[in-house]
Amino acid sequence: MNRPFVDKAYSNFSLRTALLGVTLSSLLGLESCKSDEPIMMGDVAYVPEQPVNCVKPPVKEIKQGEVSIREFDHTSEKLMSGFIADYSGNKIVKAKLILFDEKGNELAKTFTNTDGSFRMELNWEKKPSYVNVSAHDFETQIINLKTTEQLQEMKIVMREVLMMKGDVMIEEN
């Protein structure tokens, strides 16, 4: 039991002193913002406005506005192409791509090849707007043509739908 003797009061002295100093400084700072008007305690307490001599931190004014969306002009492009894969990089075969106009009318349809690639012609006179991409066991994606930066050599990554597989057992009471 030969442990060195450490006086706890001395070892915590600097920490206690620092905490006391910070607390007193904070309280003195609040004293300058003190109002001379009494606050009545009860069900509702009136909180007076701060006096003019109380320094408030500057407030940065935030202006609300519209969300900025980058749009791209693809009207000179006649072809949309690329490949579709899952998150592991495995190409997805027979994924379906359907091209729609602004009103939701179907303009064209294609499927991915055995290597996961696709090609779809674009006719801008028909005002194509978005492509619906779907595949078995994957979540459907919608690609907006105006907000997509590149329509050729696209890399579309599909997310698998999480499903529980197995037998279902029904137990009767």
CATH code, domain carrying 83: 2.60.40.1120
Share of the chain above pLDDT 90, in %: 47
Residues 44-61 have a mean pLDDT of 52
Instruction: Specify if 37 maps to a domain.
Output: no
Residues 6 or more apart from 158 whose CB is under 8 A from it? Answer: 84, 85, 86, 92, 95, 133, 135, 138, 139, 141
Closest-CA residue to 118 (of 84, 160, 78, 150) = 84
- The pLDDT confidence band at residue 70, using thresholds 50, 70 and 90, is confident
3-state secondary structure string, 71-93?
CCCCCCCCEEEEEEEECCCCECC
Instruction: Specify if 15 maps to a domain.
Output: no
Instruction: Specify if 146 maps to a domain.
Output: yes
Instruction: Specify if 83 maps to a domain.
Output: yes
Residue 25 pLDDT more than 70?
A: no
Instruction: Specify if 50 maps to a domain.
Output: no
Instruction: Specify if 29 maps to a domain.
Output: no
Instruction: Round to whole Å and give the CA distance between 105 and 42.
Output: 66
Instruction: Specify if 167 maps to a domain.
Output: no
Handedness of CA 98, 101, 103, 107 (dihedral sign): negative
Segments forming the whole domain that contains residue 83: 79-158
- The token pair at 122 is 């674009």
Instruction: Specify if 45 maps to a domain.
Output: no
Residue 61 pLDDT more than 70?
A: no
Higher pLDDT, 133 or 70: 133
pLDDT single digits (tens) 97-115:
999 999 999 999 999 999 9
Q: Say how many domains are in the chain.
A: 1
pLDDT single digits (tens) 113-160:
999 999 999 999 999 999 999 999 999 999 999 988 899 999 999 999
Instruction: Round to whole Å and give the CA distance between 77 and 94.
Output: 24
